[in-house]
Amino acid sequence: MGQRYSEVLGINTDGGDDGEIFKWFLAAVLFGAPITESSVLKTYHCFERRGVLTPQKIVETGWHGLVEILDQGSYTRYDFKTADKLLLVMGNLIKKYRGSLNRLHREAADSADLEERLKDLGKGVGDVTVSIFLRELRGVLSKADPKPTPLVVLAAKNLGIVRSESPERALTELKDFWKKNSVEGMSFVNFETALLRWGKEWRRKKQH
């Protein structure tokens, strides 16, 4: 349950490599839409097979090329909108930070500024996408400390781990719980990812 999504995709962000961090950012943007996990994984691999894994390559591929890749990955409901989003966001990343998310991180004053700079890359990079992206970079980027997503809070509340629905307070409670109940060989990121999967499962059961 706690396996990181970047690990599932074969992305290794642990060393802080700019290219690997960008690959995870692309995946996080795809995960940010209300679409099935399997469709996101399939779509990311379509980008991978086409070698479209840098901001420059995404811009060069153009709108029609991006729509084609998204459709191959069963991202059809959000293909036009996501192609627009990717071109805007990657264009701004190149213009403002020379295409480097590490540069963006270095220029951020603190955690809050880091999140705002990511959101300022373009409409469509909202709180959920930023949380997904930065969650797996805790311990890799020093200013990465995002608030948990609503699904993580939902799972933690149902399991009796946190009491508060406030993301800020819930994060403090989650960190306290993990400090007392940490598992050898696992990190807080694994714990938070497991809660996210539990949250998705609870939501799915509730909808049915």
Mean pLDDT of 62-66: 98
> Looking at the predicted structure, is the pLDDT value of residue 77 above 90?
no
> Looking at the predicted structure, is the pLDDT value of residue 46 above 90?
yes
pLDDT at 153: 95
CATH 1.10.340.30 domain locations along the chain:
5-135
SS (H, E, C) 13-39: CCCCCHHHHHHHHHHHHHHCCCCCHHH
What residue type is assigned to position 4 of the chain? R
pLDDT at 197: 93
pLDDT at 160: 96
pLDDT at 188: 97
pLDDT at 146: 96
> Looking at the predicted structure, is the pLDDT value of residue 208 above 80?
no
Confidence of residue 30 (pLDDT cuts 50, 70, 90): very high
Confidence of residue 204 (pLDDT cuts 50, 70, 90): confident
Give residue-wise pLDDT tens across range 136-171: 999 999 999 999 999 999 999 999 999 998 999 999
Average pLDDT, the chain: 95
pLDDT at 132: 94
Mean pLDDT of 175-185: 97
Note the pTM of the prediction, 2 decimals.
0.94
Instruction: Tell me the CA distances in angstroms from 52 to 8, 43, 68, 158, one per residue in order.
Output: 19, 11, 12, 40
Alpha carbon distance 165, 154 (integer Å): 8
pLDDT at 47: 98
CATH superfamily of 5-135: Hypothetical protein; domain 2 (1.10.340.30)
pLDDT at 17: 98
Give residue-wise pLDDT tens across range 79-88: 999 999 999 9
Confidence of residue 2 (pLDDT cuts 50, 70, 90): very high
Other Cβ atoms closer than 10 A to 44: 26
